[in-house]
């Protein structure tokens, strides 16, 4: 959103949320609607219609929203807010595998549209099991619910995971495009809504000083770390089939990579941006056969102790097979094969139950080819690094070498540090506020286009296939550590190392 926009409010709309009694709706969607409402960004004429199998009246749904909000953000929902906001919420129960549900949905939508003056505009948010994405889109289509008129829009928001491999993602795109025009489809990747992720373009393209250095001429390598301290937190059923590779790489982490590596788009318009992101994703060399052994590490957490607390092994989690071969950690070395990045490795790692929660991108510059500081510590110092802290402690720092004050010539590394919290005070939002707002405004830049989703699966298709046939390369790591030692070797073999957190 441009702050100079004279009319930052959305137009009238009705949002239908499938899976409204679930965790995503509770933790992310309802708080996002609340934030947008509080910030005055929603039209006066809007309504949210929750749907799930659970039977509930409108009033019971409104009560649930109040108690969820009080649990998540105590005290935020004032009496005045409650009075103004809650009449916008409605509820309908139903089984989405039955056609009858959609005819009831249609008449309920028509009556809410009249009552709340939502102008025939509607989005459908599929916060459901992925197996329901295509059937729900088809049922909406059959009932005529996604037909747009000249003066009104209909959009469908689809959560991740979008497919479980390249083939299923292609199939899902094909299935939903039978009913929907690509412009009506909003595929969510909540990383793209994160404030610090949106800032990557600004950092690169609004600052003249970085542009000349942004290539293999000056950059030695790039590291992307998405480390979590949490385990699978009751999502064992989902995670057993996903694993760290599918769960994080083709979507969140490759989105980060594409933003770091893309060429400058001719504008920040949705298609111009996404065209450039897709090109980079397609330039990643897919890993196959022997390459996988040299460039990929996968691990699974076993028990460990963090802050004196005993943490159980992945295999002991609920809904997890006691002999599971699902990876909870993955590290990769990827090559982007184009003129700008030839020879610059991109090291990616992500895992659960690691030592610290941190999502960061490290751009490490080459050491100067010659330095005149003979007999000083300069040779042993680390190269310059630009560190983009996505979360937590959002910010950017630049590490460089400086002289230690004193008579003798001694050098050391220091950080020039920018923290969002210091400059802007407010903690950046989770991403869903911005994404919902953009969807309602018809702004698709931060959503994944069909070709982008498919391009995300391409680099890892060979790895998925290889792992299906061999279960022997899974390494254990203790909960609360930085993952398997093999992941350190992935870099040390190249004379590099992961950024160390102290």
Q: Which residues are tagged catalytic?
A: 252
Tokens 């949002």 correspond to 15
Distance CA 304, CA 460 (A): 30
Q: Which two tokens stand for residue 136?
A: 């729900």
Q: Which residue is closest to ligand BG6 by CB?
A: 247
Shortest Cβ 190–ligand BG6 spacing (Å): 6
Question: Nearer Cβ to ligand BG6, position 160 or 179?
Answer: 160
# residues near ligand BG6 by CB under 6 A:
4
How many Cα atoms occupy the beta-carbon half-sphere of 43 within 13 Å?
A: 17
**Closest separation in Å from C-beta 386 to ligand BG6:** 21
- β partners of residue 51: 18, 92
Residue 101: both structure tokens together: 């549900």
CB contact set of 42 (below 8 Å; sequence gap of 6+) = 9, 10, 33, 36, 440
Give every strand in the sheet of 345-351, ordered side by side. 410-419, 395-404, 385-391, 358-365, 219-227, 345-351, 329-335, 296-302, 474-478
Give yes or no for a contact between 196 and 388, defined as CB atoms under 8 angstroms apart.
yes
Is residue 51 a contact partner of residue 92, using CB atoms and an 8 Å limit? yes
Which of these, 223, 214, 197, 217, lies nearest to 396 by C-alpha position?
197
Nearer residue to ligand BG6 within complex by CB, 247 or 364: 247
By CB under 6 A, residue 247 contacts ligand BG6: yes
Instruction: Identify which of residues 94 and 483 has a Cβ nearer to ligand BG6 in the complex.
Output: 483
Shortest spacing between CB 60 and ligand BG6, in angstroms: 29
For residue 37, the minimal CB distance to ligand BG6 (Å) is: 22
Nearest to ligand BG6 of 228, 360 (CB atom): 228
Cβ-based nearer residue to ligand BG6, 94 or 480: 480
Q: How far is the CB of 359 from ligand BG6 (least distance, A)?
A: 6
Closest separation in Å from C-beta 104 to ligand BG6: 32
Positive/negative CA dihedral, 133, 136, 142, 145: negative
Of the pair 108, 315, the CB lying nearest ligand BG6 is at: 315
Q: Is 317 in the site for ligand BG6 (CB under 6 A)?
A: no
Going through 312-372 in order, the beta strands assigned E by DSSP cover 329-335, 345-351, 358-365
CA distances to 232, 309, 411, 480, 483 from 306, rounded to whole Å, are 16, 5, 36, 6, 14
**Shortest reach from residue 330's CB to ligand BG6, in Å:** 12
- Let me know: does 496 contact 367? Beta carbons within 8 Å: no
Torsion of CA 36, 39, 40, 41, to 10 degrees: -40
- Establish if 195 lies at the interface with ligand BG6 (CB under 6 A): no
**Nearer to ligand BG6 by C-beta: 173 or 359?**
359
Residues 349-368 contacting ligand BG6, CB under 6 A: 359
Q: Which of 113, 195, 220, 228 binds ligand BG6 (CB under 6 A)?
A: 228
Between residue 127 and residue 166, which ones bind ligand BG6 under the rule CB under 6 A? 160
DSSP for 467-480, written as a single string: HHH--TTEEEEETT
Residue ranges in contact with ligand BG6 by CB under 6 A: 160, 228, 247, 359
């Amino acid at each position: 959103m441009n702050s100079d926009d004279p009319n930052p409010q959305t137009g009238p709309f009705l949002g239908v949320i499938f899976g409204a009694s679930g965790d995503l709706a509770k933790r992310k969607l309802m708080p996002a609607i609340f934030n947008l409402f509080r910030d005055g960004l929603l039209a006066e004429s809007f309504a949210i219609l929750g749907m799930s199998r659970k039977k509930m009246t409108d009033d019971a749904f409104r009560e649930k929203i109040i108690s969820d909000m009080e649990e998540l953000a105590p005290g935020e929902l004032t009496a005045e807010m409650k009075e103004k906001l809650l009449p916008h919420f409605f509820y309908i129960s139903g089984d989405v595998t039955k056609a009858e549900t959609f005819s009831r949905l249609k008449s309920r939508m028509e009556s809410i549209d009249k009552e709340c003056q939502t102008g025939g505009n509607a989005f459908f948010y599929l916060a459901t099991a992925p197996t329901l994405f295509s059937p729900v889109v088809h049922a909406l289509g059959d009932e005529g619910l996604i037909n747009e008129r000249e003066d009104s829009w209909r959009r469908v928001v689809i959560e991740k995971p979008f497919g479980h491999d390249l083939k299923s993602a292609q199939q899902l795109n094909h299935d939903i495009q039978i009913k929907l025009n690509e412009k009506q489809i909003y595929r969510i990747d909540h990383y793209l809504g994160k404030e610090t992720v949106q800032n990557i373009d600004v950092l690169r393209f609004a600052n003249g000083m970085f542009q000349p250095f942004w290539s293999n001429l000056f950059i030695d390598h790039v590291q992307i770390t998405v480390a979590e301290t949490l385990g699978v937190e009751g999502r064992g059923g989902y995670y057993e089939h996903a694993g760290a590779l599918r769960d994080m790489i083709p979507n969140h982490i490759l989105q980060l990579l594409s933003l770091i590596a893309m060429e400058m788009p001719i504008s920040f318009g949705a298609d111009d941006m996404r065209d450039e992101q897709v090109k980079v994703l397609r330039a990643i060399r897919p890993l196959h056969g022997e390459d996988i052994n040299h460039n990929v590490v996968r691990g699974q957490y076993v028990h460990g102790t963090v802050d004196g607390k005993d943490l159980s092994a992945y295999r002991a989690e609920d809904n997890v097979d006691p002999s599971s071969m699902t990876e909870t950690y993955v590290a990769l070395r990827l090559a982007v094969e184009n003129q700008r990045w030839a020879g610059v490795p991109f090291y990616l790692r992500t895992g659960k139950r690691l030592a610290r929660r941190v999502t960061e991108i490290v751009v490490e510059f080459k050491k100067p080819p010659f330095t005149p500081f003979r007999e000083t510590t300069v040779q042993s110092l680390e190269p310059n690094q630009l560190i983009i802290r996505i979360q937590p402690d959002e910010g950017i720092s630049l590490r460089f070498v400086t002289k230690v004050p004193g008579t003798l010539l001694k050098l050391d590394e220091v950080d020039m540090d920018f923290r969002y919290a210091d400059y802007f005070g407010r903690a950046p939002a989770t991403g869903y506020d911005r994404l919902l707002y953009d969807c309602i405004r018809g702004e698709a830049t931060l959503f994944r286009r069909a070709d982008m989703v498919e391009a995300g699966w391409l680099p890892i298709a060979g790895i998925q296939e290889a792992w299906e046939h061999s279960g022997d390369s899974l390494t254990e790591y203790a909960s609360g550590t930085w993952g398997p030692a093999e992941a350190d070797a992935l870099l040390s073999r190249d004379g590099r190392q992961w950024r160390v957190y102290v």
